[in-house]
Structure formats: structure tokens, C-alpha cells
Structure 1
Amino acid sequence: MYVMKDSEYMFVFTGPDGSGRKTVADAVAQTLGIRKVPGYATRKPRPGEVDGVDYHFISRTLYDQLEEDGEFLESIELRGNKYGIRDKDVARAFEKSGSVYLILNREGADILKEKYGDHCIRLFIYADRRTVEERQRALGLPDDVIQEHLSRYEYDMEYQSQCEHAFENYDLAHTVFDITNTLEKYLNRGLVDKD
């Protein structure tokens, strides 16, 4: 397991599917220059997902081999698919950047929080149920996938109180601004908001 320096942080964006956590996370990271650690998944890419950017989409056989070899820092099974983060990917990202970000569900976020403690900051991104459904329909996700996600909505929303920060996401620019200001306090780079 990668041992973080005092000034390094792992920012974990979490929240219900359709909350916009990926869009928000990528925009915040671009603003702050934080490197993403994409996970591994045994499912097929969804509309708009790019292999190697959103996830490394691999076979179940390869995933199981990597898991058996102890490659994953965290690994979960959800709805018949496996998801994980490789330890060496985290280490490589930290070598290139003082902090990293990941986009995970609550189970993965909990595993990393347990491993990294105060250096793992969970950012809960949310919107109301109707909005998350509309966003998923706009992405062209199949009805069965949307229904699976909505069946977890209340369960995912319960996680908000356990996260270090929570942000309602209806206006992307506003949400990104708020999160950027929040993360600047952790990054402590001496940047001043002149507004």
C-alpha cells in the first residue's frame, strides 16, 4: 500500500449514480491539476465511457488473476461486476501529482477511508431522485441499468452524513467553484480568492 506524505491527499468523489460526480470530479481536477486514478471494471463500457479514462475495462478472468496476485488496493463486487483500484496505479499517480482523485461508490470509498484515514477526503455529490433519473436517461443508459441505480438511490443518499463534505449538484459551475475552494484548504497552496 502506498504511504502518503503529510501533504498528500486522496479525494474520493462519491454519491448516487446520475448525481454528476464524474463530471464534477473531472472539472475540479482540471481546475486544480489533480491526477485521476481510474479503476478496473469487469463490465462493458456504458455510453460515453472511455477505456483507460473512466475505467480500465477488463475480463473477469484477468481481474480475478490481478486480485489473486494482490494487485488491488480495494476491490468490490456490485451487481455481478467487479471493480477495483490497483495499488501501483495510486503510487504512480502520487509520483506525478501531490494529490489524486477517484470516483467510487460508497463501498469503495469506505475501504480507502479505512486504509488512509485523514488523507482520504470523501466528497459526496448529490441531486434529487428525479434529476438523477433524467440525467441517466439523457446519457442513453438502458432502462434496466437506470432502475438498478434508482433502487440504490436511498441507500447511496444515506452515505452523505458519513462523508467529510457534501455538495448539491444542480449548477455545474457553482458546484465546481464550491468544491475547488474547499479542496484548496487541503492543498494549502496559498492561493487567495480575490472576489
Structure 2
Amino acid sequence: MADRIPLQRYGVLFVLSSPSGAGKSTIARMLMKSDPQIALSVSATTRKPRPNEKNGVDYHFVSDEEFDQLVSDDAFLEWAHVFDHRYGTLKASVEKLLEDGKDVLFDIDWQGAQQLHQRAGSQVAQVFILPPSIEELRSRLKKRASDSDEVIAGRMARARAEISHWDGYDYVVVNDDVERCFTDVQTILRAERMRRRRQTGLIEFARELITD
């Protein structure tokens, strides 16, 4: 098979959102492993690192004072309160990835997705992942040994609130089978890369076809 003709294009700001336990982080990891064209946006957060988490790799861990300064400096594309902590996407990190020719993957909630869309508009493609049922979601959360019953109850309440924002997204996928869900998300990403408005190289390419 011949190599694809390379055409310049804008990178996709590709958002995955879901209630906790519905699978967005799993799908994000699968995308990162399978697709060298996409890179994960590393958020800044005020929460403490968990075991095995590395600063600058999993998150940029900052103090409340540092986060306040970043907000004051307009350094975020988006930021939000999540479970008593704050998370934000640094503009400079995203711009660097786009300059390197990467699409950028965001594992964020509806608040962040809304802000990102307001800031970046047509560069953003948003996917919301739903669980197959609320009972299945509760079961998945209970399997996380690190979470207490109180934490699970809080996450379930937040999940219902998060699900209520499904209609603000471009695409909605039900994660009743992780491999099928992953295939659906891959298909969406490929289609977004092919949108005419993103392919800036098409103008010159088409002109050459017409004038040759």
C-alpha cells in the first residue's frame, strides 16, 4: 500500500469526558498506546500525588498559591474544581504539543470541556462516554479498593450530575464493551482529523490538481 500523501493540518484538541468509573481514563491510555500522533495534555492540580504518580508526567502538582497565580496570569485554557481540588490545562503545554505536530488528548470533566470549547472553538472535538447502566457504574466504583463507601456515594452523586451534561458534547459513546468503545472513539478521532477545515494543506494541493 502506498504511503499517504502528507498534508498540513491543524491539530485536534480531543476531549474525553465521563463520570468517574465509566472508562475515559482507560480509553485515553489505549489511545496513547496505539496512536503516536496524539499526546496527553498534562493538567496542573492542587491535589497531592498518589503512589507512583510523577510530577510533570501524570500531573503538574502545584500548591493552592501557585494555582491562584496561574489563574491570575491567564495561564490556563480551562480549569475547574473537582472533588475539593482544582485542575487546569496549561496553555503553554498545549501550544508546544501542537507546534510539534501532535493532536492533544484531554481527560477532563464537562466544566473543562465547556471552557475549552469557548476558548478554542473549531479545534475542539468532544466525546462523552456513558456507562451501560447506573448499577454497572456503582459496581465498577466499588471494585476500587482505595475508595470508602462515603467516597463512592459522593462519586455516584457527582456521576449523575456529570451525566446530565451529555448533550453538550459532539459525540456520545456507551461503554458496554471497552474494545468496542475504543474502536468507536478511534473512528471519531480519525474522522475529526479528516475534516476539511482542519486540512490547511488542501488549498495548495487542490490548486495544483486544477492547474496542472
| TM-score between both structures, scaled by the size of structure 1 | 0.84
Partner Cα distance (2:40, 2:11) in 1: 14
Number of equivalences: 185
**Pair 1:169 & 2:175 matched:** yes
- Aligned residue among 132, 145, 152 for 1:140: 145
- 1:174–1:80 CA distance, 2 compared to 1 (3 A): same
- Aligned residue among 14, 17, 24 for 1:14: 17
Where does the alignment leave 5 or more consecutive residues of structure 1 unmatched? 190-195
The one-letter amino acid of 2:159's match is Y
Instruction: Please say if residues 129 and 174 of structure 2, whose CA atoms lie closer than 8 Å, have aligned partners that are also in contact.
Output: yes
Partner Cα distance (2:62, 2:185) in 1: 32
Q: Which residue of 1 aligns with 2:208?
A: none
Query: Structure 1 residue 108: deviation in Å?
Result: 0.5
Q: Which residue of 2 aligns with 1:192?
A: none
Indicate the SS of the match to 2:21: coil
Q: Which residue of 1 aligns with 2:46?
A: 42
- Aligned residue among 124, 130, 145 for 1:126: 130
Instruction: Please say if residues 41 and 58 of structure 1, whose CA atoms lie closer than 8 Å, have aligned partners that are also in contact.
Output: yes
- 1:77–1:112 CA distance, 2 compared to 1 (3 A): same
Indicate the SS of the match to 1:152: helix
Q: Which residue of 1 aligns with 2:205?
A: none
Q: Provide the alpha-carbon RMSD of the alignment.
A: 2.2
Partner Cα distance (2:166, 2:9) in 1: 26
Q: Which residue of 1 aligns with 2:95?
A: 91
Q: Bigger radius of gyration, 1 or 2? A: 2
| TM-score between both structures, scaled by the size of structure 2 | 0.78
The one-letter amino acid of 2:109's match is N
Partner Cα distance (2:194, 2:51) in 1: 37
The one-letter amino acid of 1:7's match is Y
Partner Cα distance (1:173, 1:48) in 2: 26
Query: Structure 1 residue 158: deviation in Å?
Result: 1.6
Where does the alignment leave 5 or more consecutive residues of structure 2 unmatched? 1-7, 196-212
State, as a whole percentage, how many aligned pairs show the same letter. Answer: 26
